Amino acid sequence: MTQKHKVVVIGSGNWGSTIGKILAENTREHSDIFEEDVSMWVFEEDVDVPDDGTLRDQLGDKPVKLTHAINTTHQNVKYLPGIKLPDNLVANPDLQDTVKGATILVFNLPHQFMSKTLEQIKGNHLPYARAISCVKGVNISEGTVKLYSELIMEKLGIYCGSLSGANIASEVAAENLCETTIGYDGPPMDYKQPDGSSQDNLIKVDKQRQSKSNPSRIALHPVPQTYHHVDSALLEKLFGRPYFNVQVVRDVSGVALGGALKNIVALAAGFVAGKGWGENTKAAVIRIGVLEMVRFGCLWFPQSVDERTFTKESAGIADVIASTSAGRNFHSACHAVEQGVTVDEIEKKELGGQKLQGTSTTRAVHEFLEKQGQLEKFPLFVFVYDILEERTTMDALPELLIRGSKVIA
């Protein structure tokens, strides 16, 4: 192989910076396969310099650009404070410049910013690049539901897998042992250059899922054979660390869907905790929530989601456990009930610019279910929506649990 993969990460938040750290550690360790430097796109903003002697010596005490702070101190002082980042992780505020020449794009943004970001990337990336989406959320548009791995494929015309798992960023960044799942079912090495005329040269957008709402095939460019083939072995080298145990599976949609829907369940668990109702009630809510997650997958991703992903992989039940114990969605929902305010207010007040994914996912899923006329099949998802929109109170929970049990029976 004569060419090295250029890896970039798009997003530099709490998880974006953590994944950037992992990628940069691995590109350095496998510098025969990857260029050592990893560019990380930063949504530029002015940040306050924390009251820390070393940081103030390096940055001064006036607000500075986040990019400058990262590249000077090798720390994301706003979104991942206190964690040393490798010096080959290079912050870049210019999105087009970041993706230029990259063969592997890792998307790690709050989902609410994805559509706009993809529009800005379009046409500036290599046609044969491959992507991994670490984004947890679903995209609802014109009554259809899409995963971000699908949206990336559709908008950029490049193959995209997904990464998700029980991965609270601060714990991963501190190098506490955990697992993650990568869904990847990319084209084989002998894939031929598409000429636009032969079906053989086209690949299904999502091999497992074809519906009226999804273009079934796109012309996918092969990665030149001068590069190492992008497959599960290469992805394990790129993402796996001694503290970050990677399993690669073919169920791209199941991995992405688990990461998106568990945030609705985490909000429900947080509401229960905020009421002080204890672990038994929380477990009851989680049970119904998990069954609704599986039902959602079976109904709208019937050929693509492997039900076993929910039980076998970190992206399923393990992520539900972590997120309903210690995630931001869980804590924010808990604080909202305790303080008698909305979750949106808590997000603004307590998260320091970090973005909840559960609130917008709940609203998007509700909009989708309503259009499909399927609200009654998802009583817990609807309940979380009603709480967020202040259409009901936690007093309705006992009735919900009885109804939820009947619906899923």
Ligand X SMILES: O=P(O)(O)OC[C@H](O)CO
Ligand Y SMILES: NC(=O)c1ccc[n+]([C@@H]2O[C@H](COP(=O)([O-])OP(=O)(O)OC[C@H]3O[C@@H](n4cnc5c(N)ncnc54)[C@H](O)[C@@H]3O)[C@@H](O)[C@H]2O)c1
Residues forming the active site: 262
16 annotated as belonging to a binding site for a ligand = yes
Using CB atoms, what's the residue nearest to ligand Y?
13
- Is there binding between residue 289 and ligand X (CB under 6 A)? no
Closest CA to 356 of 258, 255, 260: 260
- Which of 73, 108, 281, 362 binds ligand Y (CB under 6 A)? It is 108
Among 328, 364, 381, 383, binds ligand X (CB under 6 A): 328
Closer residue to ligand X in complex, CB, 149/329: 329
State yes or no: residue 166 binds ligand X (CB under 6 A): yes
| Residue 98 in the binding site for ligand Y (CB under 6 A) | no
Selected binder of ligand X within 136, 146, 282, 335 (CB under 6 A):
136
Is the Cβ of residue 203 or residue 249 nearer to ligand Y in the bound state? 249
The annotation status of 360 as a binding-site residue, yes or no, is no
Annotated binding residue 340:
no
Q: What angle do CA 20, 257, 165 make, to 5 degrees?
A: 45
Binding to ligand X in span 228-287, by CB under 6 A: 263, 266
Contact 347, 353 (CB under 8 A): no
Check residue 404 for interaction with ligand Y (CB under 6 A).
no
Minimum distance from residue 282 beta carbon to ligand Y (Å): 20
**169: contact with ligand Y by CB under 6 A:** yes
Helix axes 379-388, 358-372, angle to 10 degrees: 120
Q: Is 15 annotated as a binding residue?
A: yes
Stretch in the footprint of ligand X (CB under 6 A) among 79-87, 148-156, 296-304, 324-332: 324-332
**Binding-site ranges for ligand Y (CB under 6 A):** 11-16, 43, 79, 108-111, 113, 117, 134-137, 167-169, 353-355, 357
Query: Known binding site for substrate: residues?
Result: 136, 328-329
**Binding-site ranges for ligand X (CB under 6 A):** 136, 166-168, 263, 266, 319, 322-323, 327-329, 357
